[in-house]
Structures are given as structure tokens and as C-alpha cells.
Structure 1
Amino acid sequence: MALRKILTQGDEQLLKRSRKVEKFDDRLHQLIDDMRETLENSGGVGLAAPQVGVLRRVVVLLDVNTEPEELIELVNPEVIEKRDEERVIEGCLSVPGVYGYVTRPTWAKIRAQDRDGNWFEREGEGMVAQCFCHETEHLDGHLFTEKVEEYVDMDALQAEDEADGE
């Protein structure tokens, strides 16, 4: 396994549509393993292959609703169902230090393949549903900044929260 460089906003790769994975081989397994290690090292909750410069439909993300947190591998994922919506603060490893309010579903179902090509479906609530949508948008060449309704100064928000807690 190896850490991969996470591309940041301004890199043209992030704006390109990823290709469907057709070969489920050692090369794919290496990509997924590297993405897992890169995500674990980043402190983020999700990572799409285009963020590490690979235009393939591959995502790894943390299911923060499980104890312990489970790392999910998604190959050729598509969101097939969404319910309800909420306004949430979102950030992105490819847009460091930038946060903003976006509207995301509170529940989503995704259909994907595992690293061996087997199809499965998985449901997620809250941040997991948000992550399903955020990461699959990366695969189509979109960044969350396209959806931001209002940018947030996280330092000011944190200071405000600390002041409220005193």
C-alpha cells in the first residue's frame, strides 16, 4: 500500500468524468488499498479515485454510523434512491480549508460492486448518505463547491460555539 497525493481544486483531473471499471484485477485492488491508506491518513470520511488522479469509478468511505467505523469500498457506485433533505456543512479533501452549507438527503441507497465485481446495495443515513452523494459527484467531475449555498468560516463558528458553551 502507498499514500497517494490528493489533488486540489484547480487540477483539471477533478473536472473530468471517470470511466466505469471493467477489469477487477490486482491493479484495481492496489488502487483500492492505496485509497484506503490515503483516506485513513487524511482525516477525511470519503475519497474518490479522481481525487488521487485516477479517472475510474472507485470510492472508499467511512461508515461513521457503525461501531467501530467501517471502511466501505464502492466500485461503479450509483445512488439509486434518496429521501428527505437537510442543510449540512460540508468540506472536501480536494478543497482544503473551505466549508459551506449544502442540501443533501438524510437517507440514501447506493448500488455498487465490490473489489471482485460482485454487486450489492447499501443504505446510509446522515453523514453516510451525504458521503454517498458527495463522492459519486466526484466521479462525474463535480466538486461540492458547485452546490454550496453559503460558505462558512469554521474558525468563527467554532469560536461562537465555545462562547455559547461558557
Structure 2
Amino acid sequence: MAIRKIVEKGDEILAKKCKPVKEVTKHIQTVTRDMIDTMIEADGVGLAAPQIGIMKRMFVCRPELEDPEHNYVFINPEILEKEGEQDSMEGCLSVPGYIGHVVRPEKVRIQGLDAEGEMQDLVFDGFAATCICHEYDHLDGILYTDRSDNVMTNEEYAEILKKQEEEER
């Protein structure tokens, strides 16, 4: 396994639409393992193939806060259903140092191949749904900053949280 270099905002690869994976080969499996290792090393909750310079429709994530060791692999994913709406504050390994407000579905149903090439059909809600939608967007060349109505530095966001905390006292 290897830690891959994460592509950052400004690189045109992040704005391009990815191509489907034709077959889940040993090479694809190695790439997904590298993606998981890279995501964990960077302390992220998700990583899409274009973020490491690979223009294939696949991403990895660990969106369940109660089970952070459980990694999902989605190859050629399709979001089949979206339900509800929620506000989220999102960051991204490709946009370090920033966070932004995005409105996402509260619940999603996604289908795609796992690392062994087996079809999976799963439902996620809350933070996990946000994570799935965020990574899925990467496959279509969309960053959270393209959807956000308010992007700020991590420091600015920390100040807002601090003020809110003081007001609640």
C-alpha cells in the first residue's frame, strides 16, 4: 500500500468528469487500498479517485462516526434516491484550511460495486449522507466550494463557534 499525493483546488483535474471503471482488476483494488490509506493518513472521512489524479468513478469513505474503522469502497456509484434536506459545514482534503456551508440531502440511497466487484445497495443518513454526496460530487468535477454559499477559513469558523458558545453561556 502507498500514500498518494492529494491534488488541491486549482488543479484542473478536480473540475473534470470521471470515466466509469470497466472492470474491477487487481490494479483497481490496489488503488482503492491506497486511497483508504491516504484518506486515513490525511485524517479524512472520504477520498475520491480524482483527488489522487485518477479519473475513474470511484471513491472511498468512512462516514459512520460511531464506527470510524469501517471503510466503504464505491466503484461506478449511482445515487438512486435523495430524501430531505440538511445543512452541513464541509471541508475537503483538496481544499485545505477552509470550510463551507452546503445544503445536502438528509438521506441517500447509493448503489455501486465494492472492492471485490460485488454490487452493493446502501442507505445513509445524516453526516454519512453528506459524506457520500460530497465524494460523489468529486466524480462529476464538483467541489463543495461550488455548492457553498459561505466559504471561510478554519480560523474564521472557529471564531464563529467561539462567539456562539459565549452567547449561550
TM range (shorter): over 0.9
- Measured on the aligned residues, the alpha-carbon RMSD in Å equals 1.6
TM-score (norm 2): 0.91
Cα shift at 1:67? 3.3
Distance 2:58 2:105 in 1: 21
Q: Percent identity?
A: 37
**Equivalent residue for 1:155?**
158
Distance 2:36 2:138 in 1: 17
User: How many residues are treated as equivalent by the alignment?
Assistant: 166
Counterparts of 1:32-43 in structure 2 under 5 Å?
32-43=32-43
Cα shift at 1:26? 1.1
SS of 2:38's equivalent in the other structure is helix
Q: Is contact 1:63-1:69 (8 Å) kept?
A: no
- With over 3 angstroms needed to count, the CA separation of the structure-2 counterparts of 1:17 and 1:68, relative to structure 1, is closer
Distance 1:88 1:128 in 2: 11
Q: Is contact 1:62-1:70 (8 Å) kept?
A: yes
Cα shift at 1:150? 1.7
Distance 1:52 1:81 in 2: 28
Q: Is contact 1:46-1:131 (8 Å) kept?
A: yes
**Equivalent residue for 2:8?**
8
Counterparts of 1:1-166 in structure 2 under 5 Å?
1-67=1-67, 69-152=69-152, 153-164=156-167
Task: Give every structure 1 segment of 4 or more consecutive aligned residues whose post-TM-superposition deviation is greater than 6 Å.
Answer: none
Unaligned residue ranges in structure 2 (runs of 5+): none
- Residue identity opposite 1:23 in structure 2: E
Cα shift at 1:164? 4.7
Unaligned residue ranges in structure 1 (runs of 5+): none
Distance 2:28 2:102 in 1: 32
Cα shift at 1:159? 2.5
Q: Is contact 1:76-1:112 (8 Å) kept?
A: yes
